[in-house]
Amino acid sequence: MGVPEGLKNIWAEAANLTDNGNANRAVKLLREEAWNLSDSDSDKAKTCQLAADAFVELGSENDSHQKKNWQSAYKNYNNSLKFEPKNKDVRRSLNQLTGMMDEAGISLGTSLQIFDDGSPTPTGLVVILIAGMILLVGLKYAGGIINQEETLTATMEISYVPAGGDEGDRTTAHITIELFEDKAPDHVDNFRRLSDSGAYDHTIFHRIMNNFMIQGGDFTNSDGSGGHAAQWYGYCNGEAANSQGVQHTPETCRMEDWTLGDEATNGLLHTPGALAMAKTSAANTGGSQFYIVPSDSTPSHLDGIHTVFGMVIAGLNDVTAISDVSLELQPDGSEGQSPVHEVRLVSVDINES
């Protein structure tokens, strides 16, 4: 099955935008249109490659944002290789970018590079040697390890200014969340797809409530009014069918209205560290927005209504610190829900172990 003509056109337009100094528009086009049309692994590999190319250009254009853009490029090249491991063009681009990042003193933001074009790097030789030694020592314990289940986690890199501070006090947190695929398969799948596509990268936590939660994931409007599901899950703005009883389809429902069916009765509760889906008061209206519960909150009134699909396993102190950041005041002098200094979600990396 060939590549859809519409996807080819989007790819061509994105490449042209990148070549002509409009890489931001290229990223937006790839994120909002190309990814949803990418069905095969080959399609996804190409979309990630073009996104990486755009992020490389963005980093070259703006030194002040070079680190985050080149790290995003590195992530997207690696994602492309996950879908298409033998693509030599992507491998060459990745190696070139790695050299540029090394020269600029920018960390890769990921694991060490062990292989280069199939051959071990010097670092890789050391790692392989150590791994071999560990293997020899650990073989007798293998029986107790083989049957362990894989754990799916998400690592969020978040930039924020602690309460009472200013931009000079900005700090970076890394928060690791275990995702419960067996308890909320659609929500985890949706979150994973959005993360892998880069939709969450460089977005903000637009809503902060002390002793309650921190909310983000609006990758279209950044204010809580936007975002949508990564793909079609059977619901259009919470409804499976229209008023005449005709089933909605991805063709009859705008992508902006794609939502998820609730999985809130899965037994997972709103305990400190819970990752859950934000939605309206209506059923089945979750899309891309999510919230995380800090250590000083247990909003049990949301149990069975909002779907919990993950739990913080490292970095909960930072979640709590973010929930305590300084908030803008409303006209009546009361505290609002928008942070004085942006709380930025730099990236989300999905890992299996």
Of 217, 209, 212, residue with least CA distance to 293: 212
Q: What CA–CA distance (Å, rounded) separates 47 from 65?
A: 22
What is the pLDDT, as a whole number, of residue 115? 46
Look over the chain and give the mean of its residue pLDDT values, rounded to a whole number.
Answer: 88
Residue 151: per-residue pLDDT = 84
pLDDT digits (tens, 9 = 90+) for 296-353: 999 999 999 999 999 999 999 999 999 999 999 999 999 999 999 999 999 999 998 6
Interval 158-169: pLDDT, tens: 999 999 999 999
pLDDT of amino acid 134: 52
**3-state SS, residue 54:** helix
Mean per-residue pLDDT for 151-174? 95
pLDDT in tens, 123-149: 455 545 655 655 555 544 444 433 345
pLDDT of the residue at 32 = 85
At 235-276, the pLDDT tens digits run 999 999 999 999 999 999 999 999 999 999 999 999 999 999
Choose between 74 and 129: higher pLDDT.
Answer: 74
pLDDT at residue 224, as a whole number: 96
337, 312 contact by CB (below 8 A): no
Look at residue 206 and tell me whether its pLDDT is greater than 70: yes
Mean pLDDT, range 107-111, rounded to an integer: 60
Give the count of beta carbons closer than 10 Å to the beta carbon of residue 13: 17
Which SS3 state, helix, strand or coil, does residue 45 take?
Answer: helix
Q: In the predicted model, is pLDDT for residue 175 greater than 70?
A: yes
Pull the structure tokens for residue 206. 């637009």
Task: Output the pTM of the full model.
Answer: 0.65
Q: Which of 15-29, 46-60, 142-156, 182-196 has the lowest mean pLDDT?
A: 142-156
- What pLDDT does 288 receive? 98
Write down the pLDDT at residue 63.
85
pLDDT of 246 reads 97
- Cα separation, 339 vs 347, whole angstroms: 19
| Range(s) within the chain of domains with CATH label 2.40.100.10 | 152-352
Q: pLDDT at position 171, please?
A: 96
Confidence class for position 113, pLDDT limits 50, 70, 90: very low
Report the relative pairing of strands 171-179 and 152-160 from DSSP bridges: antiparallel
Q: pLDDT at position 144, please?
A: 40
Every domain range in the chain assigned CATH 1.25.40.10: 5-110
Domain 152-352 fold is: Cyclophilin (2.40.100)
SS3 267: coil
Banded pLDDT at 22 (limits 50, 70, 90): very high
Main-chain dihedrals φ then ψ at residue 277, nearest 5 degrees: -85, 125
Could you say which architecture CATH assigns to the domain 5-110? Alpha Horseshoe (1.25)
Joined tokens for residue 108? 């890769």
SS (H, E, C) the chain: CCCCHHHHHHHHHHHHHHHCCCHHHHHHHHHHHHHHHCCCHHHHHHHHHHHHHHHHHHHHHCHHHHHHHHHHHHHHHHHHHHHCCCCHHHHHHHHHHHHHHHHHCCCCCCCCCCEECCEECHHHHHHHHHHHHHHHHHHHHHHHCCCCCCCEEEEEEEEECCCCCCHHHCEEEEEEEEECCCCCHHHHHHHHHHHHHCCCCCEECCEEECCCEEEECCCCCCCCCCCCCCCCCCEECCECECCCCCECCCCCCCHHHEEECCCCCCCCCCCCCEEEECCCCCCCCECCCEEECCCCCCCHHHCCCCCEEEEEEECHHHHHHHHCCCEEECCCCCEEEEECCCCEEEEEEEEEC
Instruction: Give the C-alpha separation, 117 to 264, whole Å.
Output: 45
